[in-house]
């Protein structure tokens, strides 16, 4: 179900009154990775693709142009190899493998972090043709998740920079750079994010959606579907998420890579 907001207030008012409703019934069995309505609010909103599967069902592909070759581990390895060759020819003071790692691991981390969402990635393009299913653990629009990723990355960058520059740091900075890795992570990252996470959970549990206002788009879509004649109603099957054990492997792998960089990144 797609609900359209126009730039004309009078049309939006009529749409709220259910006097303007666009319907396009069809009989195909759909598989929707998101399982929720799409709110089209401007002329440049999301694009959709439709792919017929071998079982005859039709999969709705959200942003079909996104997360393809640019989110492929194979492409990351290719660019890392290219940088390795170029730096070997240039005879740089930094070993070529360090340059290659500086290209590959950030690329890999980007792919892994994006894999936590619903959209997934085409992990091994050009050997694979389609995006796989995301782990479905988080939403790309979740502000807490985005803050966690960005803030943790910046904190780790600062830790590595301090360890790599002790020769010219002030006495206070040298003392701070000598702080235990685990103490730094606990003090700067874990405690702060735990406090913010707790406040976020309290807000979502006790305050979010409690105020007066317009009903959410999902409720409006559900009401419209209920009003359709029975022969025009359609069931949209959600793409099944991977098993919980496989979904939990994502954070474990991410934590392992981050710990590797924290422990050894500054000494490479």
- Please write the tens of the pLDDT for every residue from 125-169: 888 877 777 777 777 777 778 888 888 888 888 777 776 665 555
pLDDT band at 171 (very low <50, low <70, confident <90, very high): low
Cβ count within 10 A of residue 256: 9
Evaluate whether residue 220 is within a structural domain. Answer: yes
The helix or strand, by DSSP H or E, that contains position 2, with its residue range, turns out to be: strand 2-4
Residue 153 vs residue 210, higher pLDDT: 153
Domain that holds residue 221: 1-65+213-239
pLDDT band at 21 (very low <50, low <70, confident <90, very high): low
Number of domains in the chain: 1
Cβ count within 10 A of residue 192: 14
Cβ count within 10 A of residue 21: 12
What is the DSSP secondary structure assignment for residue 209, as one 8-state letter?
A: T
Q: Tell me the mean pLDDT in the region 230-255.
A: 59
Q: Work out the percent of the chain whose per-residue pLDDT is above 70.
A: 53
Supply the pLDDT for residue 131. 76
Supply the pLDDT for residue 86. 93
Q: Which two tokens stand for residue 72?
A: 């492929």
Evaluate whether residue 233 is within a structural domain. Answer: yes
Supply the pLDDT for residue 261. 61
Query: Of 105, 146, 96, 107, which is closest to residue 261 (Cα–Cα)?
Result: 105
Evaluate whether residue 88 is within a structural domain. Answer: no
127 neighbors 74 (Cβ within 8 angstroms)? yes
Evaluate whether residue 149 is within a structural domain. Answer: no
Evaluate whether residue 171 is within a structural domain. Answer: no
| pLDDT for 240 beyond 60 | no
Phi, psi at residue 177, to the nearest 5°?
-70, -20
| pLDDT for 25 beyond 70 | no
Distant-in-sequence, close-in-space partners of 76: CB < 8 Å, separation ≥ 6: 103, 104, 107, 108, 111
Using a cut of 0.85, tell me whether the model's pTM lies above it: no
Supply the pLDDT for residue 81. 94
Q: Compute CA distances 7 → 44, 83, 215, whole Å.
A: 13, 49, 20
Query: Of 255, 262, 268, 261, which is closest to residue 177 (Cα–Cα)?
Result: 262
Phi, psi at residue 40, to the nearest 5°?
-95, 110
Residues 204-234: b if buried by 16+ CB within 10 A, e if exposed: eeeeeeeeeeeeebeebbeebeeeeeeeeee
| pLDDT for 193 beyond 80 | yes
Flag the least confident range among 99-108, 146-155, 179-188, 227-236.
227-236
């Amino acid at each position: 179900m797609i609900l359209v907001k126009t730039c004309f207030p009078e049309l939006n008012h009529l749409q709220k009154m259910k006097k303007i409703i666009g319907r396009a019934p069809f009989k195909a069995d759909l598989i929707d990775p998101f399982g929720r309505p799409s709110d089209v609010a401007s002329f440049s909103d999301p694009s959709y693709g439709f792919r017929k599967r071998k079982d005859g069902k039709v999969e709705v592909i959200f942003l079909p142009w996104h997360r393809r070759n640019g989110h492929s581990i194979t492409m990351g390895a290719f660019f890392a190899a290219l940088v390795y060759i170029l730096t070997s020819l240039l005879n740089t003071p930094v070993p070529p493998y360090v340059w290659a790692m500086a290209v590959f691991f950030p690329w890999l981390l980007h792919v892994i972090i994006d894999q936590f969402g619903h959209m997934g990635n085409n992990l091994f393009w050009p050997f694979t043709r389609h995006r796989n299913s995301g782990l479905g653990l988080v939403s790309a629009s979740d502000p807490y998740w985005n803050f966690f990723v960005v803030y943790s990355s910046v904190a780790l960058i600062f830790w590595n920079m301090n360890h790599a520059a002790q020769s010219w740091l002030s006495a206070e900075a040298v003392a701070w750079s000598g702080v235990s890795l685990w103490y730094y992570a606990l003090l700067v990252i874990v405690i702060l994010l735990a406090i913010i996470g707790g406040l976020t959970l309290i807000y979502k549990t006790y305050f979010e959606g409690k105020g007066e206002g317009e009903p959410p788009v999902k409720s409006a879509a559900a009401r419209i579907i209920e009003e359709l004649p029975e022969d025009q109603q359609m069931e949209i099957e959600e793409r099944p998420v991977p098993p919980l054990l496989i979904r939990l492997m994502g954070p474990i792998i991410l934590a392992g890579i981050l710990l590797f960089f924290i422990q050894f990144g500054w000494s490479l």
